[in-house]
Structure 1
Amino acid sequence: MANLSQTGPSVQAGIKHSIYWRDTEAVEPGPPLSEDVHCDVGIVGGGYTGMWTAYFLKQADPSLSIHIVEMDYAGAGASGHADGFVTPTIGHSLAGLVHGFGTERAKTAYAVVGRSMLELDRFCRKHDVDAELEPNGYFSVATSEAQLRLLRRDVDLAERIGARNSLQLLDREQARERIGSPAIHGAFKVGGALLNPHRLARGLARVVRGMGVHLHEQTLATSVTKENGKHVITTSGGRVVADRLVLGTDAYQHGFRPFRHRVKPVWSYAVVTEPLTDEQLAQVHWPDREGFVEARNFIIFGRFTADNRLLFGGGPAPYFYGRDMAESRHMRRDEATEFLRGALARYFPAWRDLRIAYSYGGCVGMTRDFVPHVGSTEDGVHYAYGYCGNGIALTHTAGKILRDLILERDSTYSNLLFVNRKERRFPVEPLSWVGAKGLTALLAFQDRHPNLIKRQLV
């Protein structure tokens, strides 16, 4: 693995420190809000959460008037810079969910998110959204005997929640027949898909606009208040006065006072190579193009893009003091580039000299208990955040939950394990920063020395 202290001159010249996905489809933001409006539902946040909520509300009741305000363009946040894995994972891990909530509640939640994975494919086909979706799933892989124990544990847990038939633990040779990496010691296949998150977000924006949803891009919400029984979203261009309010800003949710200490923005990094030539592709046996995720606390993952680039991501996920989310300071992180270059070389020595075209980071929303939270406050504010880096399918599910909460439906969705659940809060600064540094060090130590700390930490 690359030495994390190697920064600066060791980093390849000519790398673009911008999000690769944004270059796959040009964005022409819609007009910002320019007047006061009144509506049934006002939504802050034009990412997956806000748009799926609007989509499902309009399906349930086309007469609803819905306005979404988004400070940049729809999908500019975590929705558009995700790594494109459509997974059933809820929070950080299956083990954490089963141990924290019990087998039956975990089983129900995984079944519902699994349904969302299937419906994403149907949505793209129905609405002609070219999200470059490949329904080939991914492998959870082990690169050591300790990680193999984690895979065996997850297979056993999957059996407990009824998914055993879809999981077969492959040994070293069987796994390398699927992904020809000398680093892989074992693997099991997980259902799901790979897609282009930016193109999905832009396609979803077009669909909800076509349904009559008012999507105001480049419209920053400067305050959210309640006046005369109505929720008021104030922006520089006007006010949205709504009967119901949804806050769906994930890593930005801490900007609203009631949620200040409930979610923390953590940075996740990725590198993307130049497109591989046919000759380069032939150097590694990877016939079905599945992605893979390494079984560790700070996961490492890899996948192909639609134009045959190799995307590698993961590794240390830093939190910066004061919830600092400034791209100007943190989009480029040379030690992350070198770490991921080292991971790529470890997995695929034949590709160790591939040129890195993009290296970038973005924030994901983390909660104290490592599961998302969806619900309603006593003041009638509906919310969803904290997908912990696994939000593509989960946000689809969250949209259905918020639909049912807003329409006051008692349903499977409104009773899922992460709905209206009491939350543990992060401490104030500097304790929050100190705690993050300590937990990061402990999790990294466990990744390096798994036999010394065998207990599940998160």
Structure 2
Amino acid sequence: MIPSFWLSTLDPVTPRPPLPGDRSYDVVIVGGGYTGLWTAYYLSQVAPHLSICVLEASYCGFGASGRNGGWASGLFPVGHAKLARRYGAAQATAMHAALAGAVDEVGRASAAEGIDCHYAKGGTISLARSPAQLRRARKSAGFLPQDEAAAMCNATDVLGGVYSPDCAALHPARLVRGLADVVSRHADIYEGTRVLSIARGSVTTSHGTVTAGTVVRALEGYTSQLEGHRRALAPVYSLMIATEPLPESDWERIGLARRETFTDERHMIIYGQRTADDRLAFGGRGAPYHFGSRVEPSYDQVPAVFDSLAQTLTDMFRIRPRIAYRWGGPLGIPRDWMPSVGLRDGVAWAGGYVGDGVAAANLAGRTLADLIAGETTERTTLPWVNHRSRRWEPEPIRWLGINAALRATTLRDALEKHPAPAR
């Protein structure tokens, strides 16, 4: 695997030793990313008497936690209106408020633990750059007129935008590696330990079996690789590029003075940030879903998608910067796009963030800590708690459906950019 820009800026990772054979704990957490580590972190605070271990197939931060876009955002893949129809307006509001609070909690906890993850809460702006995008933007809370949107992020063809203060830009690998160091003071972390199967009360690994009163599944985009979970979450790839540092003259024109994260109102998701060292880190969807939910290192590299991302930066900001890094990896998508967190019969889980997991994983970790400790809190009554998404369809329906949706999304954007002439 080619490391992300984020991981490339850190000292080379030396994995911790693997599981040294059969062991017993009160809680075993499968997955050394944000979800698993935040769960261990908060659980060690609310229930310090519990023994905890974290199992990671490679090293902490190998997956999406070490290579994402660095958005700690209050975004949730299911909109307020849809949540309100199913759970009521109060619950929908509570879900979004909890996520907004998680953005601040990531910053607070990082500062408290001395994790310098380049946290900057500048908010996020979604630009409207076509008439169709403008029509969508006008319906959203936080709508900005053209002059205000362009003053924040001076991209080409800006007609307006939508701003939310509930987002912070950060360095994701600094966060996950720093968090792993903190957690290692309170729990045992075994890296280089692939989990083969989980069951109530036990986890079978490549290095032995761990028995535990509670088993936590926190594998996100790699969930489909676990025995019996092939259709739980679809691993869909998101790819990124990072430029060389841009000169100050470019930033004076582009803006993003508070390191606001940015996107636009197109249907195919794109996302970017101004890094602490003045690069543009920019990513998007568009890579194909692979038959059978396969996950392979070679899938991280799709030259056509990298070229498209670079061209999008040129189109947006009239620059042709040198692209210094290219990388990617899978994220987890549930069939109904509804992330979930829960605990049933001794097995806990969290995930399905659809790419918005940096802050959501923090909220999930706190929620799992409450559930495992037997505490009833405002978090444990949120609508995503104990939600169960139906499984994805079997192949080849899954492959056909997901890739058809990707192509349809690309076509919708093309038609909005170049609408058919009126008859």
Could you state the TM-score of these two structures normalised by the residue count of structure 1? 0.86
Equivalent residue number for residue 191 of structure 2: 217
Equivalent position to 1:357, from 324, 333, 338:
324
Deviates more, 1:43-52 or 1:93-102: 93-102
Structure 1 residues 235 and 85: CA distance shift in structure 2, 3 A = same
Q: Which amino acid aligns with 2:373?
A: L
Change (3 A) 1:62 1:17: closer
Give the drift of 1:285: 3.9
Q: Distance in 2 between matches of 1:452 and 1:278?
A: 34
- How far apart are residue 336 of structure 1 and its match? 0.4
User: 1:172-251 maps to which residues of 2 (within 5 A)?
Assistant: 172-191=146-165, 192-210=167-185, 212-226=186-200, 231-251=201-221
CA contact (8 A) 1:253 1:385 kept: no
AA partner of residue 322 (structure 1): G
State the partner residue of 2:134. Answer: 148
Residue in 2 aligned with 1:322? 292
Deviations 1:62-120 (A, max 9, x none): 11100111011111111111100111111255555455544322101011111111111
Query: For 2:264, which of 294, 300, 315 is the aligned residue?
Result: 294
Q: Secondary structure at the match of 1:71?
A: coil
- 1:7 matched residue in structure 2: none
Does 1:74 find its partner at 2:60?
Answer: yes
CA–CA separation in structure 2 for the residues paired with 1:452 and 1:110: 35
Secondary structure at the aligned position of 1:245 is classed as: strand
Change (3 A) 1:333 1:185: same
1:371 paired residue number? 338
Q: 1, 4, 8: which one pairs with 1:23? A: 8
2:367 pairs with 1:381:
no
Instruction: Return the alpha-carbon distance in structure 2 between the equivalents of residues 303 and 357 of structure 1.
Output: 15
Question: For the residues of structure 1 that align with 2:183 and 2:370, how far apart are their CA atoms?
Answer: 18
| Mapped partners of 2:47, 2:288: distance in 1 | 42
| Structure 1 position 342, deviation (Å) | 1.6
Question: Residues 182 and 70 (structure 1 numbering): CA distance in 2 closer, same or farther, change over 3 Å?
Answer: same
> Structure 2, unaligned stretches of length 5 or more?
none
Shift of 1:412: 1.9
Q: Once the 2 structures are TM-superposed, how far is the Cα of residue 143 of structure 1 from its aligned partner?
A: 0.9
Structure 2 SS opposite 1:271: strand
For 1:128, the equivalent position in structure 2 comes to 114
Give, in whole Å, the separation in 1 of the partners of 2:289 and 2:88. Answer: 30
Cα separation, 1, equivalents of 2:90 and 2:42:
26
- Structure 1: distance between partners of 2:40 and 2:72: 21
Distance 1:289 1:354 in 2: 19
Residue 54 of structure 1 aligns with which residue?
40
Q: What letter is aligned with 1:20?
A: F
CA contact (8 A) 1:446 1:452 kept: no
Structure 1 residue 249: deviation in Å? Answer: 0.4
Q: Distance in 2 between matches of 1:93 and 1:318?
A: 25
Q: Give unmatched runs, 5+ long, in structure 1.
A: 1-15, 156-166, 454-458
Q: Which amino acid aligns with 1:255?
A: Q
Quote the offset at 1:264 in angstroms. Answer: 0.4
Query: Structure 1 residues 171 and 265 mapped into 2: Cα distance closer, same or farther (>3 Å)?
Result: same
Distance 2:195 2:388 in 1: 27
2:396 counterpart letter in structure 1: P
1:6 match = none
8 Å Cα contact 1:265-1:365 kept in structure 2? yes
Return the match for 1:112 from 98, 110, 132: 98
Structure 2 residue 398 is the aligned partner of structure 1 residue 429: no
User: 1:138 — aligned with what?
Assistant: 124
Q: Is the 8 A contact 2:199 2:347 kept in 1?
A: no
Q: TM-score, normalised by structure 2?
A: 0.93
Q: For 1:35, what is the secondary structure of its paired residue? A: coil
Q: Secondary structure at the match of 1:441?
A: helix
Q: 8 Å contact 1:268–1:318 — kept in the other structure?
A: no
Q: Could you tell me how far apart the structure 2 residues matched to 1:382 and 1:364 are?
A: 19
C-alpha distance after superposition, 1:116-144 (max 9, x if no partner): 11111111111110101112121121111
Given residue 68 of structure 1, which amino acid in structure 2 is its aligned partner? V
| In structure 1, distance between residues paired with 2:417 and 2:281 | 30
Cα distance in 2 for partners of 1:139, 1:451 equals: 20
Q: Which amino acid aligns with 1:119?
A: E
- Are 1:265 and 1:325, in contact at CA under 8 Å, matched by a contact in 2? yes
Are 2:46 and 2:370, in contact at CA under 8 Å, matched by a contact in 1?
A: no
1:274 Cα deviation after fit:
1.0
Are residues 37 and 17 of structure 1, via their aligned partners in 2, closer, same or farther at CA, if it must alter by over 3 Å?
Answer: closer
> Structure 1 residues 141-150 or 76-85, which shifts more?
141-150
CA distance in 2, matches of 1:96, 1:444: 24
What SS does the aligned partner of 2:293 have?
coil
CA distance in 2, matches of 1:317, 1:399: 29
- 1:32 alignment partner AA: P
Which residue does the alignment assign to 2:313?
Answer: 344
Counterpart residue identity of residue 122, structure 1: R
Aligned equivalents of 1:446, 1:118: Cα separation in 2? 35
